[in-house]
Amino acid sequence: MNANDLRKLATQVRRTDTVLRQLARNLELSNQDKAKLLTAADVLTGTAKQVVRKAKSAKAEEQAREKALATAIEEARKIGKIWPVATTLDKVALCLGNLMESNLRQDLEHGPRDPQKSLDYWVELAMSELPSSVAWKAIQIKQSVASVMEQATERLQKIRTQPKAIELARRWDMAIRESTLPK
């Protein structure tokens, strides 16, 4: 449960505690039944305190995680700015690494008016998603952002040498060249 859910649970427990105490006070019950209701209310009081402590702890953990993620995203953004995306192969590899192969292929099939602009759009989208996904992965596997970025760089190097990446980059190059030819 997250901190918000725990806070809601604590509120429900306190309300139930209050209702039990009101029942014991306002109903005509035997002393034994009143004692049982008050004992149950006392248990709920202790439980509510435990739940509140857990909620505070969960909230602190959530805030720490969010802060770590924000820091990691910023670090990934800085490292990501030095990634080479100069050639068409670099751009295609980046998009393939970001699971955008179908987008690239569909764009080529529909023959975009400005293939360079279209490819740049997909690259920009991939680059904008990169910092948050790298940061998230770094936090999940408890490694540095630099280490995860290094792994991603190695993965991109492998993608660049794959025949499908080379072929797709060649097709994009052709589409870009054809779009610049006078008609």
Sign of CA dihedral 164, 170, 174, 176: positive
C-alpha–C-alpha distance, residues 16 and 21, integer Å: 9
In this prediction, residues 162-183 reach a mean pLDDT of 88
In this prediction, residues 65-80 reach a mean pLDDT of 81
In this prediction, residues 126-149 reach a mean pLDDT of 86
Closest C-alpha among 59, 52, 64 to residue 11: 52
Q: How far is CA 44 from the centre of its chain?
A: 36
CB atoms within 10 A of CB 104: 20
| Per-residue pLDDT at 18 | 92
C-alpha–C-alpha distance, residues 75 and 131, integer Å: 8
Sign of CA dihedral 6, 12, 15, 21: negative
| Per-residue pLDDT at 15 | 92
Residue 83 gets the label, from left (phi > 0), alpha (psi -120 to 50) or beta, of beta
In this prediction, residues 141-147 reach a mean pLDDT of 87
User: pLDDT digit string (tens) for 114-135?
Assistant: 899 999 999 989 888 888 888 8
For residues 76 and 145, the answer to whether their CB atoms sit within 8 Å is: yes
DSSP line for 30-59: -HHHHHHHHHHHHHHHHHHHHHHHHHHHHH
Sequence spans of domains, the chain: 3-63, 83-180
